[in-house]
Chains A and B, each alone.
Chain A
Amino acid sequence: MTLKTLAICIPLLPAAGAVLVGLIGLRGLRSRSHWLVIAGVGAALVAATMLFDRVRSHADDAQPTAQTITIYEWFNTGDTAGSWFDVEFLVDPLTCVMLLTVLSVSLLVVIYSVGYMRDHHGQPERGYERFFAFLGLFVFSMCTLVLAGNFLLLYLGWELVGLCSYLLIGFYYDKPAAAQAAKKAFLVNRIGDFGFGLGILLIYLRCGDLSYDHVFSAAGMQQLAGYETIVALLLFCGAVGKSAQLPLHVWLPDAMEGPTPVSALIHAATMVTAGVYMVARCSVIFAASPVAMWVVACIGAATALFAATIAVTQYDMKRILAYSTISQLGYMFLGLGVGAFDSAIFHLFTHAFFKACLFLGAGSVMHAMAGVIDIRRFGGLAKGMKVTAATFWIGGLALAGFPLLAGFWSKDEIVAAALHSQAPWLGWIALLTALMTAFYTFRMIFIAFHGPERLPNTVDRVHENGRWVTIPLIVLAVGAVGAGYLGFPPHQGGLHGFLEPVFRAAQPKLAVSASDAPHDGHLLLYVSAGISILGIWAAWYIYRRRPTVAGAAASGAASLHRMVYNKYFVDEAYDVGIVQPLRKLGRFCHGVDRFFINAILWVITAVPRAVGFGLRGMQQGSMQGYAMGMVVGVIAIVIWMLIRMAGGDAGELAAISQG
């Protein structure tokens, strides 16, 4: 198989599955709908593995590792002959890593959904086939986004995943909260996408082409010279929206209204990392602008800390994980901002596994608790749900950065890079965040899985979910342990070497290159391991040994707790600052429309109405009145013809009458 065939197969196989399920799912497949999507995603994963193999083997050859494959010519911009936008795929190590991450997590989530999207009697939920069709569509969109070889196709995939996110958050569309959350996600994303679109337009204006090949080349960067900062910041707008960074993070916690597999796949592992991917992909542009790098790092660090504090106070398992996701995405942006592109992608890769594992574990708990997800209402589930508890523990340890697990290696690299950047305090923020991460993760674990068994009223006894659910959990837990070793030893692992050609062009432009940072032995490793263990111990001490401490602390700093618990009132601030003024403006416009525009229309339409009123009297409804009209018409025609006869056409009529 050629590289081109492989590249085409990867997005199209899931799409084919989705379309088939969409077409015949409701009538023919119903509860067997998942097979087509599993097959499509699985085949795409195989194709992606083969693609990865090709690229890795090329890395040793003399051939370039990045190859642009033109699928077909899309449309002509009309400016000059030959300026076509193509549907083109860029295949390079970054693409391969993203594809493998997306497709492997997707496959596991799709398998998990088979067990999850059923009730306790094993009957599929309403909309079962719709769910799988959307999942397939999402995988197609995400693969398109990742494979895109120019900004236009990237934008297409970007919007497509946004659409899938909207559809899946609003999957339970008859639930008002879900419908609201879907709308919110879509609208907040639009704000970011607006900036993203502007950035792409600016690139087109400067370079005259949107192909990565051209834009990222030396010539392309030459054309962008002077505009790198504005372009990078506009592109980063899109990333802020899609990856739920401050100040556009508000949609992600609400997105948890969607089914849990969706939260795991789209709102934790894959789609929200599109922003990170995009910034990494545009590393050349970002690296050329110190200001943009600085903004990325600051927003990343701020978001990481901000979201972690909120996560400490929440009680909804999925929301804790959502804020944790925002926080971890902040880490990734921090890594990008300090120039450690490969470390950010490494963290993206490991995060996908352990966060998906945690989300699916939360979903397993939710399924067993008949939809209850508030950790105040249940506890001590570890005895009844051994597999879920074990995998949740592993995922939690990885998230907390416990030594030797996946999160430990990747997070540590970002912290190290931040500490060696021009602003070492970013690194301290990262360390503080790491402490809180460990704390809130294990706060959740200790409350939910340990201690005396407490259950919601609706649940009689705890039971483990079926194999459709547990096997993906186990696989993801293995990934949460092992994924980190692809990047071992730190900064020189296999993954870094593999990704190195992608960021080669960006490295010389950085003020402080991450790769030539001095390695201060293993000190940082020990420090972060200690922080992680400290956080876990604190959670154990507060929530297992002295359960009263937490309440006392919350009431001791009541106002602070209330502020954090209410997510710093960001939603309320937006409501007062943006939504209400806009609503008032809308009302004003409505009033203008009603009283001004309608008045104009009324005046205009008054003319025909008045004429009609005047002429109405002519319609007597009497047959003879109409006949009279006819007769008058006939007389008029006769007289007109006679006048013509008397005038110029006399000869003609004379000719007729003479025969």
Chain B
Amino acid sequence: MVNGAGMSLVGAVLFGLGVVGFLTRRNLIVMFLSTEVMFQGVLVNLIAMGMRWGDLQGQAFGVFVLVIAAVEAGLGLAIVVMLFRRRGTLDAERWNTLRG
């Protein structure tokens, strides 16, 4: 595997699936899981690009994406727990206070 085209394609598909999941699922936890899928797509794409250019920066950025994903998961899940404790449900549609 010497060019990144295939991996890039897989990354794009994973990202697209994550987007669709985030938009359609109403469970806050599954929505977060969908963002993790999007992260996977980005990560795969970074690896592919690093391969394409023969540079390790892609993988280094992959490590940072990993860090951000961990941070996001920690904070996001903490917020989810708080929201769940307040309303007793994980339905994202229940949180529409900003409705005009």
- A interface residues with partner B (beta carbon < 8 Å): 615-624, 627-628, 631, 659
* Bound-complex Cα distance A622 to B96 (A): 5
A interface majority secondary structure: helix
Q: Is the CB of A621 within 8 A of B99?
A: yes
Q: Is the CB of B22 within 8 A of A619?
A: no
Q: Given known contacts A615-B100, A624-B23, A627-B22, what 12 new A-B pairs fall within 8 Å (CB)? A: A618-B100, A619-B99, A620-B99, A621-B99, A622-B92, A622-B93, A622-B95, A623-B92, A624-B24, A631-B19, A631-B23, A659-B53
| Chain B interface residue count, Cβ-Cβ cutoff 8 angstroms | 15
Q: Is the CB of B98 within 8 A of A627?
A: no
Q: How many A-B residue pairs have CB under 8 A?
A: 35
A sample of 12 cross-chain residue pairs with beta-carbon separation below 8 angstroms, ordered by A number, consists of A615-B100, A620-B96, A620-B100, A621-B99, A623-B92, A623-B95, A624-B22, A624-B26, A624-B92, A627-B22, A627-B23, A628-B23
Query: Which residues, 7 to 29 on B, are CB-close (under 8 Å) to A?
Result: 19, 22-24, 26
User: How far is the CB of B7 from the nearest CB of chain A, in Å?
Assistant: 16
- B interface residues with partner A (beta carbon < 8 Å): 19, 22-24, 26, 31, 53, 92-93, 95-100
Determine the residue in chain A with the shortest Cβ distance to B95: A623
Residues in A neighbouring B98, C-beta threshold 8 A: 619, 621
Residues in A neighbouring B23, C-beta threshold 8 A: 624, 627-628, 631
Residues in B neighbouring A618, C-beta threshold 8 A: 100
- Known contacts: A624-B22, A627-B23, A631-B23. The answer to whether A616 contacts B100 by CB under 8 A is yes
Residues in A neighbouring B26, C-beta threshold 8 A: 624
* Bound-complex Cα distance A619 to B23 (A): 16
- Known contacts: A627-B22, A631-B23. The answer to whether A619 contacts B100 by CB under 8 A is yes
User: How far is the CB of A205 from the nearest CB of chain B, in Å?
Assistant: 62
User: How far is the CB of B12 from the nearest CB of chain A, in Å?
Assistant: 11
Residues in B neighbouring A619, C-beta threshold 8 A: 98-100
Q: Is the CB of A621 within 8 A of B22?
A: no
Determine the residue in chain A with the shortest Cβ distance to B92: A623
Residues in B neighbouring A659, C-beta threshold 8 A: 53
* Bound-complex Cα distance A510 to B92 (A): 99
| A616, A619, A623, most chain B CB atoms within 10 A | A623
User: How far is the CB of A554 from the nearest CB of chain B, in Å?
Assistant: 79
Determine the residue in chain A with the shortest Cβ distance to B98: A621
Q: Is the CB of B97 within 8 A of A621?
A: yes
Q: Is the CB of B100 within 8 A of A621?
A: yes
- Known contacts: A627-B22, A628-B23. The answer to whether A621 contacts B92 by CB under 8 A is no
Determine the residue in chain A with the shortest Cβ distance to B54: A659
User: How far is the CB of B13 from the nearest CB of chain A, in Å?
Assistant: 15
* Bound-complex Cα distance A618 to B100 (A): 8
* Bound-complex Cα distance A623 to B93 (A): 8
Residues in B neighbouring A616, C-beta threshold 8 A: 100
Residues in B neighbouring A620, C-beta threshold 8 A: 96, 99-100
Residues in A neighbouring B92, C-beta threshold 8 A: 622-624
* Bound-complex Cα distance A615 to B99 (A): 12
Q: Is the CB of B100 within 8 A of A617?
A: yes
Residues in B neighbouring A624, C-beta threshold 8 A: 22-24, 26, 31, 92
- Report the 9 A-B pairs with minimum CB-CB distance, sorted nearest first: A621-B99, A619-B100, A621-B96, A616-B100, A621-B98, A622-B96, A623-B92, A624-B23, A628-B23
* Bound-complex Cα distance A624 to B96 (A): 10
User: How far is the CB of A529 from the nearest CB of chain B, in Å?
Assistant: 93
* Bound-complex Cα distance A628 to B22 (A): 9
* Bound-complex Cα distance A552 to B25 (A): 105
Determine the residue in chain B with the shortest Cβ distance to A616: B100
Residues in A neighbouring B96, C-beta threshold 8 A: 620-622
Residues in B neighbouring A627, C-beta threshold 8 A: 22-23
User: How far is the CB of B99 from the nearest CB of chain A, in Å?
Assistant: 3
Residues in A neighbouring B97, C-beta threshold 8 A: 621
User: How far is the CB of B84 from the nearest CB of chain A, in Å?
Assistant: 15
Determine the residue in chain B with the shortest Cβ distance to A628: B23
* Bound-complex Cα distance A619 to B99 (A): 5
* Bound-complex Cα distance A628 to B92 (A): 14
* Bound-complex Cα distance A95 to B94 (A): 86
| A615, A616, A627, A628, most chain B CB atoms within 10 A | A627
